[in-house]
Amino acid sequence: MLKAITYKKRKTKKVKGIMVFFFIIFSTYSFTLVFPFLWIFYNSFKTAPEFLMSGNPWALPQKFLISNYFDVFVLSEFNLGVMFFNSATLVLSAFEEGKTYTISFDVTMLNNSIANGQIFFRFGADEKHVIFNAFEKLTVSFTFTASSSTLFRVFNGDNNETRCAALSCIIGPVTITEVA
């Protein structure tokens, strides 16, 4: 009868120490990324005077007020609920007065992936890294420049009330074209 051979990876103390070091570094980094969102979330349940006048901005709210979200989305003068709906409508597509608007997205990242695949397939090790690094820097700079300037206005019906939307932060460069 054959016995299954199992191999155990033996980790030296040095490797374990390096793993613990990186675990601490990445745990600290992830905490610094998540903590501001948690702080904003639990402070959103405070009243305005409690948030502004309390001596400790890190304290938990005395009462968790869900009504703050109702006030922002329904009762605020900015009408955040409507703005949120408009952004969602723009992302999907907008139909207004028989005209269809489509949102076309920049496919730079797809082209980048295809070109990088060609570079790795066709060139040797020395040329590959030089061309790959140059291509990466070039495409990232063009993508950043294009997406940072994509602020567009949407005109809403009869009164031409303008709403500004910066969808480029989420989905990249956006172009709205009218399809008859």
Higher pLDDT, 18 or 157: 18
pLDDT above 70 for 85 = yes
Distance of CA 96 to the CA centre of its chain: 29
CA distances from 129 to 17, 27, 78, 108, 165 (A): 32, 31, 50, 20, 39
* 43 and 35 Cβ atoms separated by less than 8 Å: no
Residue 155: predicted pLDDT: 43
Three-state helix/strand/coil letters over the chain:
CCCCCCCCCCCCHHHHHHHHHHHHHHHHHHHHHHHHHHHHHHHCCCCHHHHHHCCCCCCCCCCCCCHHHHHHHHHCCCCHHHHHHHHHHHHHCEEECCEEEEEEECCHHHHHHHHHHHHHHHCCHHHHHHHHHHHHHHHHHHHHHHHHCCCEEEEECCCCEEEEECCHHHHCCEEEEEEC
pLDDT band at 22 (very low <50, low <70, confident <90, very high): very high
Mean pLDDT of the chain: 66
119: confidence class by pLDDT, cuts 50, 70, 90: low
Amino acid at 162: T
